[in-house]
Amino acid sequence: MNDFLKVYQENKKVRDLIKHPTFKSNQLIGTRGYDNHDLKFKITHVKQSDKYSCDVLVNIKVCGRLRTWSYNTDENGMCDISNKFDFRSPRDRNRNIRRHAEKEIKKHLRLFGIKDYYVEIGKVAVAESL
């Protein structure tokens, strides 16, 4: 794992290759109502975890819509994630974003030889657009 992080920090082409793609995760008609989401996200930074030396911490930037129990929803029961008043708390919103983004991030980093269980999503930056 340290070899990957070393190459990531030293080689700008590898860093651009990891950070360039924009991922999309959407499920408009979920099996459970609270799984509806339509998110776009991008990797902003990759670093070593403070807790474990073999874990990789990935920061992401996100825009899109999530299912919520607010009154300001569309026909699918979703609202824009940049409006923080439509969610119970920012922690709850970020937890749901991490849950939906984790699968695509792990799939992308698997191409670089990182095992799924070493990847952890750190900071979540919510934006209007990417």
pLDDT, one tens digit per residue, over 76-110 is: 677 888 887 777 888 888 888 898 889 889 999 88
Predicted TM-score (pTM) of this structure: 0.83
pLDDT 10s digits, 24-38: 887 766 555 567 778
Q: How far apart are CA 44 and CA 16, in angstroms?
A: 10
How many separate domains does the chain show?
A: 1
pLDDT at 60: 93
Q: What domain range is 108 assigned to?
A: 2-126
Which of 32, 65, 60, 27 has the alpha carbon at shortest distance from 46? 60
